[in-house]
A and B are shown apart, each in its own frame.
Chain A
Amino acid sequence: MDLPSKKKAYSQKYRPEWENMDEFKGNQEIPFKVVPKDHSYRHCDESEGALTLFIAEHCSILSVDHLGELCKMCFKDSKATQELKLHRTKCTEIMKNVLMPHFRKELLDDIGNQKFSIIMDKSADVSVSKHLGLVIRYYSAPQENIKQNNALQTTSEDLSTLLHLNVNLSKIEKKPFVAEKILKLNFEEEDTKGILMFIKDYVGVEDIGNFLTKNPLILFETVEDLKIRVNYLESKKFKNESIRRIITQNPFWLMFSTIRIDKRLGYYQEKFKLCGSEVRHLATKQPNLITYNLHHIQTNSFVIKEEMGFNDNEVKQLILKKPKLWMISQNSLLERFNYVHNIMKIPHEKVLHYPNILLCRNFKVKQRHIFLEKLGRAQYDTTKENYVPLSALVEDTDQDFCKRYAKCLVDDFNTFLKTM
């Protein structure tokens, strides 16, 4: 049996000459046209974008159907959410046409011309759709620090400049904040060059590496500021060598504004009743003391004056002789003094005469003192015979100590140490 053919046989087909006929002329253009709405700014545009970004980053697209509804329900008072229209189709389109071009551009800009590595993996399972995952790894200057990528250092001209100055970059990169800043620095700029030259003048070629390792942030100051700070020292009648010494010894000095330095110098002058030349002597001898933590200085002053019982004049002598005493921890300071004064019975005047004994670790003084005591040689009185100076407890190697003061062999001292 013959089945009727489904295809209808039209005798007449479309003919182009019809288009010229009068009766069809009006219908030529089919009025199906996308009329662009006047796309004014809607409050919810931004929130739709943000929601899409959230979906792209954290979950699957289908859930946006409900997320939009949920937002509308929860935030009734917001105009932006009431107008919100965001379902899966729109969400996909926003992702493809709005977010993707933006982030692609950002990524390309970030990579620039530098090298990167590619990691690839594809899905090889039974499912119909195949995936090819591509990950690129690159160094992002504004986001990461040096540690992430060694390749950067081999190519960076700027950092190799620093390296030739003998700067220890491994120490700088331990502070991510500083490392990030240094990376952005341009060494071709006149300012940076000027600062380097300026520091070189005062510090010398050998020490500049050490200087920059300790204080890399100096490169962000301006040359004028540094000049003003040095001029201030000159105006205060510091000699040229002292200025050099101050800057070399304390790389952070130049970071302090003249006002702060002036305040600090004034503080020491007033607190310890120093005259001008004495302040200069103190600042030259221990430049770190001037910029030290003031709270620490105050507590140590209290320990030395009140707890250890030195009078004002003696305190002044002490700070001029051994400013370092103000920079060590107050507990160990007190412990050392306690041992020297109360157990070894050394009077204040003798401690004042040889303050180094307070800078030496307590166990060293202790073991030598007990050893001398066992030998019956612990005699620290200058007026009597067999006098042992306090410096013997601190300085020299054990060999010298045994030979000169204990008058025995080092092995005996070592055996004694193993009984402590």
Chain B
Amino acid sequence: MVVKLRDAALAYKTLNGIVCIYKPPGVPVRRVQQTIITNLCRDLNALPDRPQEKRIEIVGATNAPMTVKLVPNYADDPLICGPRYIQDDFRCSWATHLGLFTSGVLLLGINDGTRLTYHINVARPTRAYKVHGQLGKATDTYFWNGKTVERSTFSHVTREKIDRIVAHMQLAHQKTMFELSGLHMDSQATYEVASQGLIRPANSKLPVIYGLKCVHFDPPNFTLEVQAVNEYDKYLWTLVHDLGIQLKTSAYCTGLQCIRQGKFDLELALLRKHWKIEYLIDNMDRCRQILEENETLLKPKSAQLSV
């Protein structure tokens, strides 16, 4: 699966595109970026590269035949001018920012791939999250790192109750989706758009939730699966908090994991131990294939939600 690289220059040239990374929780995105670029430099410098340049020296008196010598060029020696590949040689950007405590799929663009990340971000593909929550306690930040502000009983919560409320929340969000489309609610145009299915929001400001489902319920712990656009970590935390209130108890978020971004899912994501050049190039290839197969990922043709 993973090919062996033979030439550093060739490897560097292929490093243009996006990679799909598994971001561990508790590590900021910036640090992930930094680590990956440092690793790339380390691996590239370890690969065999072009031979060192020679310097031609013509010596001797100008009126007599002069001798031509080849001497090693110190200006090309890695011991003098430093390693051949340094961190400044790489540009790197993310498609969507994940919060500090969020783990999961992170799309990073490397070199020319930075443009792709921009297009992906603008195209607003849906992202799927697993939101882990716990009943019976509320914190001031709505997350496990906050101070406890409330405790309550939760024995009355059953699977049916949680399902009902979750379905209700999903419905409310789908209604806002049409309100955000900019169309008049009572018009024929809205009817035609709505009859075809879900649509993506017109701007990037307001979070919209398309699907909300409770996938695991084992009191006090539960897990929600959320498909959304324009969401951010704190918004999903408050979702758990709201759910707790509607269940007539309290709840806080214990973990957040992004399991899908557009067509890029967990299966593709590279674990921390695999952040090495061979794996990254292989991953970049697979990401490129996905982008070629799904053109709508970069340039959505209609407002219709396809991914």
Q: A-side interface residues toward B, CB under 8 Å? A: 150, 153-154, 160, 163, 166-171, 363, 398, 414, 417-420
Contact = CB atoms under 8 A, between A and B. Distances in A.
A187 to B, nearest CB: 16
B77 interface: yes
Contact of B81 (A150, A166, A417): A150
B269 A418 contact: yes
Main SS of chain A's interface residues?
A: helix
Given A153-B75, A417-B271, A418-B271, A363 B24 contact: yes
A10 to B, nearest CB: 64
Contacts of A398: 273
A154 B271 contact: no
Given A398-B273, A417-B271, A418-B266, A163 B77 contact: yes
Given A363-B24, A418-B22, 16 more contacts: A150-B74, A150-B81, A153-B75, A154-B74, A160-B74, A166-B79, A168-B79, A169-B80, A170-B78, A170-B81, A363-B26, A398-B273, A417-B271, A418-B271, A419-B257, A420-B25
A398 B273 CA distance: 9
A398 B272 CA distance: 12
A160 B103 CA distance: 50
Contacts of A419: 257
Contacts of B80: 150, 153, 163, 169-170
Contacts of B25: 420
A267 to B, nearest CB: 36
B105 to A, nearest CB: 9
20 contacts: A150-B80, A153-B74, A153-B75, A154-B73, A154-B74, A154-B75, A163-B79, A168-B79, A170-B78, A170-B79, A170-B80, A170-B81, A170-B82, A171-B82, A414-B271, A417-B22, A417-B271, A418-B266, A420-B24, A420-B25
B164 interface: no
B168 interface: no
Interface in B243-278: 257, 266, 269, 271-273
- DSSP majority for the B interface? mixed
B275 to A, nearest CB: 13
The 10 A-B residue pairs whose C-beta atoms are closest, nearest first, are A170-B82, A150-B75, A169-B80, A153-B74, A418-B266, A154-B74, A168-B79, A417-B271, A153-B80, A170-B80
Interface in B42-101: 55, 73-75, 77-83
A419 B24 CA distance: 10
A171 B86 CA distance: 13
A160 B257 CA distance: 55
Contacts of A168: 79
B257 A154 contact: no
Contacts of B75: 150, 153-154
Contacts of B77: 163
A253 to B, nearest CB: 24
A167 B79 contact: yes
Nearest to B259: A418
B131 to A, nearest CB: 13
A418 B79 CA distance: 41
A398 B274 CA distance: 12
Contacts of A418: 22, 266, 269, 271
A418 B74 CA distance: 47
Nearest to B75: A150
A209 to B, nearest CB: 8
A169 B79 contact: yes
A62 to B, nearest CB: 47
Contacts of A170: 78-83
Contacts of B272: 363
B261 to A, nearest CB: 14
Nearest to B73: A154
Contacts of A169: 79-80
B88 to A, nearest CB: 14
A320 B107 CA distance: 46
Nearest to B257: A419
Given A363-B24, A398-B273, A414-B271, A420 B79 contact: no
B133 to A, nearest CB: 16
A163 B77 CA distance: 9
A366 to B, nearest CB: 10
A400 to B, nearest CB: 13
Nearest to A420: B103
Nearest to A397: B273
B36 to A, nearest CB: 16
A166 B78 CA distance: 11
A391 to B, nearest CB: 19
Nearest to A150: B75
B252 to A, nearest CB: 19
A363 B103 CA distance: 13
B79 to A, nearest CB: 5
B267 to A, nearest CB: 8
Contacts of B79: 163, 166-170
